[in-house]
Each structure stands twice: as C-alpha cells, then as structure tokens.
C-alpha cells in the first residue's frame, strides 16, 4: 500500500533529520552547498545570502554542472521544508552521501532572522522572450541573468559581426559595444545581414544598432565609429566581459589580442577566406593567445580581402554564428568551449576539424603574462 505524503514526509524526516536554519548557515559558510530548490517566482521574493538558486526541475543536472561532488554536504531549502525532504531522498539515491533539508525552509530562515537577499531576477517579458533557452539546463534563470548582466565588445559589423551581433542580442546579452569605422555599401548586403538597403551610406555601427534595437529593445547597444588600432584597443577592451573579434585585418586583430591578454579578457576569434573559416577561443588571462597562433602578419597583399577573393554570405554567416555560440557558452559558464582549440572548416567540401592550440613559450605577448 502506498503511503500518504504526510506519512512519507514523516519517514523522510527520520531518515534525514532536518538541520536548523542557523546550523545550515554555519555549514554553508564552511563550504557546504546551500541550494534553494524553490520555483523562480518564489526565489524572486527572496533567497538566503550565499544560496545557489537551482529550482527543483533540473536540480540534479545543475548540481552536477556547478561542480558538487558526491562527498560534499548539500543543504536543500524550499518554502517550508517538505519539498526539500523529497528532493533530499532523490539526491541521496543518486549518490550524494550527505544531503540535508533545512528545517522550516525559507519561512524558517526568515523567522530565525538570518540574512536573505532579493535577487535581480528576470521579469515576465524576459521569461516569455527567452522561454525556449531558459528550458535548457545549461542556461536556466541563472544563465539568462548572466547574459543580461554581460558586456560584450564586438569588433566589426561586417560578415562575421552581423550574425554574431544578432544572435548575441537575440539571446539577451545585456550590453553590446559595436566598433566599426566603415559605412554600409550595397556590395555588403549579401553577407552583412544586419544592414538594410535603407541604411546604405550610413555608419555600420549605427545601422547595426538600429537592427538590434528592433530585434531586442532590452539590449543596450553602444556604437563606436572608429578604426581599431593599438591606440584605442585598451580603452575598448576595458570593462568588457568578453570580446568577439569579427575584424578583417591584422592590425585590429593584434591590437585587440594584446589588449585582451593584458586585461585578462577572453577573446573569440573568427576569420574567413572564400569557403574556409576558422574559429578559436583565447582564454581570459591565459595562454595561448592569437599571437601564439599567428606570430606575424603575412606580407601586405598576400592575404586577400573579400573584395579580392570573393565570398558567399553563408560562410561568414556560419563562422559569426559559431562565434556568438562560443561567446554565449563562455558567458553562462558551459565547460566545453573552443578554448585553446581551433575549429577549421572547409565549407566547399564540408570538412570540419578541431586542432588543439599550444601556447608559444616565446610569445611576445602572453608568455609570462
């Protein structure tokens, strides 16, 4: 015969004696995982300071992704201490040895006079807009909040920058600074899909801003109508969480790389030539960097421009989209990115490969950085 919920909870209370909120706080300060398993709308009303808001639905996956080990102490908190007992039992069966429920839940926490905070959660519009990506355990409310709080510098509003900017804005990256000195030309439109017939002759940075504002008005777009060089790269990178490089020249790439290494900011690199493309992530403050991969610029004129070589828009479209994807993965904290790897694609034959990138111990920029 099956037990009623009340009987089951009584049993679980005996198996997993709940800990008092003050004890839970002490354990959390000593390194235990204090996990708030309530729904997002409940957490929006307040959550213990230092708690990990994970919800119940994807608790097991989120706990594992966050790095909790089987031998760690896990303290589960719900509203009143019932749901946390049921969840404790499930985690215990999954192999977590020391799982406990916080007695009285968040009500008990508040009654004990312990510190709580009201997190900056998503509003109803955000929940509707990002519903399909919020469902992914890799994103969720926490990841979406990270995207909203993120500042990304995008170099170039061209063939790579167009799709990158649109996917970053659509995904809800909070602030996107777009640097481009050029103006929109009719010959750009077959690949630089952020621009419109109506913006021919206008600044690319401003044309891109208009498209992004129409796509997602909650994103702040900062247009910078400048050519990237050694003189302004450090200022551009300053204060950014991540840089996506969609530039088409070595001067800009080296200047941005050097500023990213100096300021410990991750760099998502991309390039195309005819049907070939490359994407890589150079880690924040680490090695390798872009100069480890390309120590010196090729002689002037040996690397053809799109105007000289020709290009189909879908090829930079692929590469720019991959750059946006890697940027989003980095921002939400997904573990497997193209960090220190180079993805090369031959779109004419559809051959994709990834190579491991090694730091150059003699690199003039990142060695010893």
Active-site residue list = 306
Shortest separation between residue 243's beta carbon and Zn ion, angstroms? 15
User: One symbol per residue from 344 to 363: x for binding Zn ion (CB under 5 A), - otherwise; what is it?
Assistant: -------------------x
Shortest separation between residue 367's beta carbon and Zn ion, angstroms? 6
Contact range with Zn ion by CB under 5 A, out of 80-88, 180-188, 281-289, 304-312 = 281-289
Nearer to Zn ion, 179 or 365 (CB): 365
Shortest separation between residue 271's beta carbon and Zn ion, angstroms? 17
Structure tokens at 305: 């421009």
User: One symbol per residue from 285 to 304: x for binding Zn ion (CB under 5 A), - otherwise; what is it?
Assistant: ----x-xx------------
Beta bridge partners of 282: 267
Selection from 113, 202, 124 nearest residue 157 by Cα: 202
Nearer to Zn ion, 52 or 291 (CB): 291
Return the SS3 of 141: helix
Contact range with Zn ion by CB under 5 A, out of 203-211, 283-291, 300-308, 343-351 = 283-291
Q: Per DSSP, which regions of the chain are E strands?
A: 33-36, 47-48, 52-53, 73-77, 98-101, 116-117, 151-155, 175-179, 220-224, 242-245, 266-273, 276-282, 341-346, 351-356
Give the distance from CA 287 to its chain's centroid. Answer: 20
Nearer to Zn ion, 85 or 260 (CB): 260
**Residue 366, interface with Zn ion (CB under 5 A)?**
yes
Give the distance from CA 344 to its chain's centroid. Answer: 22
Q: How many angstroms separate the CA atoms of 281 and 91, rounded?
A: 35
Shortest separation between residue 318's beta carbon and Zn ion, angstroms? 26
Residues lying near Zn ion in the complex (CB under 5 A) are found at 289, 291-292, 363, 365-366
């Amino acid at each position: 015969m099956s037990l009623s919920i009340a009987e089951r909870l009584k049993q679980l209370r005996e198996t997993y004696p709940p800990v008092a909120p003050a004890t839970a706080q002490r354990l959390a300060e000593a390194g235990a995982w204090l996990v708030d398993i309530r729904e997002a709308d409940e957490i929006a009303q307040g959550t213990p300071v230092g708690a990990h808001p994970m919800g119940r639905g994807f608790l097991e996956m989120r706990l594992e992704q966050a790095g909790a080990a089987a031998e760690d102490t896990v303290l589960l908190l719900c509203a009143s201490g019932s749901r946390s007992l049921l969840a404790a039992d499930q985690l215990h069966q999954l192999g977590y040895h020391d799982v406990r429920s916080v007695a009285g839940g968040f009500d008990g926490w508040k009654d004990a006079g312990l510190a709580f905070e009201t997190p900056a959660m998503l509003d109803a519009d955000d929940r509707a807009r990002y519903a399909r990506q919020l469902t992914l355990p890799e994103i969720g409310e926490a990841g979406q909040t990270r995207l909203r709080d993120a500042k990304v510098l995008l170099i170039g509003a061209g063939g790579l920058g167009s799709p990158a900017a649109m996917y970053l804005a659509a995904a809800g990256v909070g602030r996107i600074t777009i640097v481009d000195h050029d103006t929109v030309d009719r010959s750009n439109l077959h690949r630089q899909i952020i621009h419109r017939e109506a913006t021919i002759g206008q600044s690319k940075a401003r044309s891109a801003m208009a498209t992004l504002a129409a796509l997602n008005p909650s994103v702040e777009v900062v247009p910078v109508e400048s050519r990237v060089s050694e003189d302004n790269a450090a200022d551009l990178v300053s204060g950014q969480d991540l840089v996506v490089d969609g530039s088409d020249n070595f001067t800009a790439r080296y200047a941005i790389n050097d500023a990213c290494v100096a300021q410990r900011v991750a760099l998502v690199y991309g390039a195309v030539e005819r049907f070939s493309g490359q994407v890589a992530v150079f880690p924040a403050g680490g090695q390798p960097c872009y100069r480890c991969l390309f120590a010196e610029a090729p002689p002037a004129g040996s690397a053809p421009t799109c105007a000289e070589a020709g290009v189909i828009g879908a090829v930079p479209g692929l590469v720019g989209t991959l750059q946006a994807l890697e940027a989003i993965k980095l921002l939400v904290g997904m573990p497997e990115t193209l960090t220190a790897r180079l993805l090369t694609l031959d779109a004419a034959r559809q051959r994709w490969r990834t190579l491991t990138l090694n730091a150059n111990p003699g690199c003039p920029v990142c060695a010893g950085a």
